[in-house]
Chains A and B, each alone.
Chain A
């Protein structure tokens, strides 16, 4: 694993404006982070918080009507405003993505060998025979049993976990520098989830990729990434080293998410601590802090403007005006 000083991917002040059926909506505001080679970052949040849209923006896969502001730099070169033709040269080559649903991410009409070989044929200009050989090696590496024999099988002949292994092989075909995994295990059983996350972690380490792991599951984040960002209403409301965030959570939303999870082995009859209300629609986000309408310790000033990020520890920032109150009693789970 080589760690150099220049970040592999650097996102600064990313903003995404989408046209929804209810009018234009600011789906993402002020997202910034930088990842070096071999570093891993987790994005957590509920549906509609902007985590998947952020990933699609990095992949250049937003709808044409979306307006992207800020900057995304891959190994120093700017991606925002890049032409589609140029993006095609990067996608699946230097930056690739593993999707949530392995059932829909694979084309049912083509053999898995052809699908894994496709990025190789497209980007490296190798011959069909070479690509096929490489595809078999990749399928073997991701732990597909009998890769040599099953390379000509179709997606429906595989189980969910095996299909996810195949999509991972596709994503890794060209040895990308940046890997984005969007809820890669949400559709899978808990035992298979462990195997897939182990596989991704091994490959990230082995190939020195930067990884962005998107999940709604705090447990998955806690076990698999070095740093994390919690998103709500299109903004990052808490970010930091995973251990620092889990040891002492700063934002009322992060704390709420943490307390709302049912915990294994909790005493019988425990009531879950809920967060009042529901996730706001992107088209009608509150003016100030996006969490204000659901927050138990909201004040008038919270609604005035989006709060700035406050440092609450080494490399641990919280976008909240009231961390003095929210962090008065420690919430989190230490080692």
Chain B
């Protein structure tokens, strides 16, 4: 697969360098005499993130975005390919070095109810990444916890409370505080606001923006909500069945999306405006993740697909500055009128 931006990637080591990552899962055997079927959750994903920049990953369920997050966090070893943070391949590090390296990359999960242990105090929950790294003086630890709680807009006094005493938005702040306490360079956030109400979602998104400005953090933001990703990220990767089908700056994707799937995703977002009325969408078949299909994986849903698409899978290629797409007809797709932005 093509490199994102050859020149700039060569001049400095990117914060995160993901090369051709493949992740296969074996399905339960259906017959004694046939080999077990495999699911290709990730099918050769390459991405770089420079320090202080953020990458958004969008796609439908089953597109591989959460697998991507787990592989980035070194919670799973990929079937092939490499994930390097600051030039070190995470999957080659010995276990105790990997543990120390985790200081630099932390994760925020989707469900703020499930991701905080209900029987631990906030102080213990937030301090855990630090205590896991080594022994620290209790007083210094509490001071550090108080500092991060203030950074995410909570009070020192919240330290000795339990998770059930907080609302969903506050819990997500606690989860962010826990990720921040090791002063990471990268935070991987898997659907961080999708469980929150709209008014609270805005508060958490603003907080994430502030923290990025303040600490020069990078985010890998995984979301099904294009507007959320657009708000926080410098670059967006659109995934479909384990592949990146389009990647580029948000404005490029919106103004002249080069992959029909990106356009379909954008078009499907309901528009909050008067006179929207009902827009008809064409029926779309749901594609399968199992191996063995040739041609473009999106061909069965694509209005522009022709026999060439069904026979030959398109490679991810450069279609503009910092803009990649995996479509034989990317140029034609880019020439189509842009998908209407949302008014208001």
Contacts and interface: CB of A to CB of B under 8 A. Distances in A.
A264 B275 contact: no
B133 interface: no
Interface string B205-244: 1100100000000000000111110110000000000000
Interface stretch (A132-140, A170-178, A215-223, A305-313): A215-223
Nearest to A219: B270
Contacts of A194: 268, 270, 279, 281
Interface string B280-291: 110110100000
Contacts of A260: 198-199, 201-202
Contacts of A268: 250-251
Contact of B197 (A47, A245, A271, A333): A47
B60 A264 contact: no
Contacts of B230: 262, 264-266
B95 interface: no
Most chain B beta carbons < 10 A, residue from A161, A256, A261: A261
B271 interface: yes
A19 interface: no
Interface stretch (A88-96, A112-120, A274-282, A321-329): A274-282
Nearest to B197: A46
Interface string B259-282: 000001110111111111111110
B344 A258 contact: yes
A243 B274 contact: yes
A332 B344 contact: yes
Contacts of A201: 278
B53 to A, nearest CB: 12
Contacts of B200: 46, 278-279
Among A160, A161, A275, residue most surrounded by chain B Cβ atoms (within 10 Å): A275
Contact of A195 (B206, B269, B281, B342): B281
A270 interface: yes
A266 B231 contact: yes
Contacts of B251: 265, 268
Contacts of A243: 274-275
Contact of A263 (B268, B274, B275, B344): B344
Interface residues of A, number: 55
A258 B227 CA distance: 14
B113 interface: no
A220 B60 contact: no
Contacts of A86: none
B329 interface: no
A99 to B, nearest CB: 18
Nearest to B233: A268
Given A223-B276, A246-B273, A335-B273, A256 B342 contact: no
B199 A274 contact: yes
A105 to B, nearest CB: 18
Interface in B155-208: 167-170, 197-203, 205-206
B341 A334 contact: no
A275 B275 contact: no
B61 interface: yes
B297 to A, nearest CB: 15
A218 B197 CA distance: 12
B176 to A, nearest CB: 16
B343 interface: yes
B254 A264 contact: yes
Contacts of A279: 167, 197, 199-200
A190 B261 CA distance: 12
Contacts of A258: 272, 344
A193 interface: yes
A160 B286 CA distance: 11
A216 to B, nearest CB: 6
B274 A334 contact: yes
Nearest to A145: B285
Given A261-B198, A262-B228, A278-B169, A191 B271 contact: no
A143 interface: yes
Contacts of A159: 286
B281 A333 contact: no
A272 B205 contact: yes
Contact of A224 (B201, B278, B341): B278
A159 B61 CA distance: 10
A274 B209 CA distance: 13
A333 to B, nearest CB: 3
A139 to B, nearest CB: 16
Interface in A213-254: 216-224, 242-247
Given A256-B199, A262-B225, A220 B273 contact: no
19 contacts: A46-B198, A189-B61, A190-B224, A190-B226, A193-B270, A216-B197, A217-B270, A246-B273, A258-B272, A260-B202, A261-B227, A264-B341, A265-B250, A265-B341, A274-B202, A278-B169, A279-B200, A334-B343, A335-B273
9 pairs of A and B residues whose beta carbons are closest in the complex: A219-B270, A333-B344, A265-B341, A333-B273, A335-B275, A246-B274, A260-B202, A46-B197, A272-B202
